Amino acid sequence: MEKISGNPAILKKVNKDLIKETLKEFPKSTKPQLAQKVGLSLAPGNKAVEELVESGEARCLGYIDSTGGRRAKCYKLNENFELILAVFIQSGHYCCSVLNMDGKEISGTVHQHEEGDWTQELYAVIDKALAGCEREKVSSIGVAVPGSVNGDKISNIPTIPQWEGFALKSELEKRYGMTVVVENDINAATLGIHDKYTDSGAKNMLFLHIKQGIGAGVIINSKLHKGRHNFAGELSYMRIPSGAEGETLEGTLHGLCTNREAVIELVAELLANVICVIEPDLIAIDTCYLSEADAGQLKTVLSRYISKEYLPQIFIRPVQDAIYIRGLFVLCEHKTQNSVELYQ
C-alpha cells in the first residue's frame, strides 16, 4: 500500500479511488452527488469522474429526471473493466471462477487433483482460466488454501504437505505479474458469508466449520479478525466443561459424533463462550453432524446459559464452493481498490 503526503499525481488517484468506492455503494449518482459524498469540491470531483469515464472504469447511464433545473447525467462503475480470478482448493479439487467487478461469474470450472506436483497443477488451472477470458483485464488472483497463511508463507496444511512453508503468493506474483491474495479457506468462507448477509446488518459474525476438523472465522466491526499470529478462530483447541480431561474440543466432538443430542449440547457450550466474548450478530454453522432443523434446538439449549435477548441469529447449512469464491472476490476487490494509504 502506497503512502502519500501531498504528491499531486497520487492525490488525483486518491480522488478517483474515493469516487470509485462511492460509485460502488451508490450507483447511478451524478457528479455533484459524488463530490458531496466524497467531500470534494465540484472541480476535482468532476475531473475525477471524467477521467474514470475516459479510462473506461466508469460509464455514463444518461440523464436523470429533472427536479426543476438542468438535467444531470448519472454514472456507475463499468463492471467489466476489470476481472478477478479466484481459485478455491479443497477436497482434492480446484474450483476456479473468473468474475467481473459486480461479482458476477464470467466463467467457472472445476478441476480434480491428480497425482503429481500441486504447484504446477495450480499453474495449469490458472493458465487455462486466463486463456478462456480477456487476460489483460484480470487485475488480481485470489487463492483459498486448506491451511494457515501467515504473511507470505503457508503452514499447517496436511492435505498438501508440498506447500508447508511455501511462499505461494510470491511465486504466483512472479509468474503472473499481478496482485495476488492467498488466504485460508475458512477465512475466505467467512468473508463470503458475511458479504452475502450484509443486508442483515451483521457487523460481528462467527462462522463455525465442523467436519473432519473444527475451524472458525471471526468478523468484528465488518472486518476479518485474524489475530497476531492468525490464530483467531482456532476453536478446536478450546477446553469445555463436558470434555474429558486433557482432551481438545475436536477430540471430544469426534467421540460424540453419532449422538445428535450430545453434539448439540457440546456446540451450545462452545457458542456460549464465544457469544460472551464477541457477542456476534450472526453465527453461521457448516457441519455434517447437524441439520438446518437443529438450529432451533441449539438456541433453546443456549438459552440455558445466556439470556435470549443476547442470542444472535443462528443458521446451520452447507457452505457451497460459490461462497468461498465470493470471499476471495471480496479480498481481491479490496486489495485492488485500496492501493493508497493516507497518513498524517
For position 29, which CATH number holds? Answer: 1.10.10.10
Are 155 and 208 within one domain? no
**Cell numbers that stand for 140 in this block:** 488480481
Pick from 52, 78, 104: which residue ends a domain?
78
Cβ–Cβ contacts within 10 Å for residue 240, how many?
A: 19
Are 169 and 101 within one domain? yes
In a domain, 343, yes or no: no
In a domain, 344, yes or no: no
Q: CATH number for the domain including 223?
A: 3.30.420.40
pLDDT at position 5 is 52
95 forms beta bridges with 88, 110
Measured in degrees and rounded to the nearest 5, phi and psi for residue 203 equal: -90, -30
pTM confidence score: 0.84
Domain count, the chain: 3
Burial of 271 (0-12, 13-18, 19+ CB in 10 A): buried
pLDDT at position 342 is 42
74 forms beta bridges with 30, 62
Residue 128: C-alpha distances to residues 97, 180, 256 (Å): 11, 17, 44
Place of cell 468484528: 220
3-state secondary structure of 11: helix
Are 314 and 329 within one domain? no
- Which residue numbers in the chain have pLDDT < 50? 4, 340-344
Pairing type for strands 138-145 and 83-90 reads parallel
Are 54 and 139 within one domain? no
In a domain, 342, yes or no: no
Are 231 and 166 within one domain? no
Are 156 and 204 within one domain? no
**Cell numbers that stand for 160 in this block:** 498438501
Distance (Å, whole) CA 316 – CA 59: 41
What length does the chain have? 344
Residue 246: C-alpha distances to residues 213, 237, 270, 277 (Å): 18, 10, 16, 23
Are 109 and 147 within one domain? yes
Domain assignment of residue 33, given as a range: 2-78
pLDDT at position 341 is 45
**Cell numbers that stand for 58 in this block:** 466508469
Pick from 25, 59, 78: which residue ends a domain?
78
Are 180 and 328 within one domain? yes
In a domain, 113, yes or no: yes
CB 257 within 8 A of CB 290: no
Distance (Å, whole) CA 121 – CA 93: 11
Q: Residue 89 is which amino acid? A: I
pLDDT at position 92 is 86
User: If we measure between CA atoms, which residue out of 291, 274, 293 comes closest to residue 204?
Assistant: 274
Distance (Å, whole) CA 325 – CA 98: 10
Measured in degrees and rounded to the nearest 5, phi and psi for residue 76 equal: -145, 160
**Cell numbers that stand for 38 in this block:** 466524497
Are 63 and 125 within one domain? no
pLDDT at position 242 is 62
**Cell numbers that stand for 106 in this block:** 464470467
Pick from 51, 78, 105: which residue ends a domain?
78
In 279-344, alpha helices (H): 295-302, 321-337
Are 303 and 205 within one domain? yes
Are 246 and 231 within one domain? yes
Q: Residue 94 is which amino acid? A: Y
Are 201 and 315 within one domain? yes
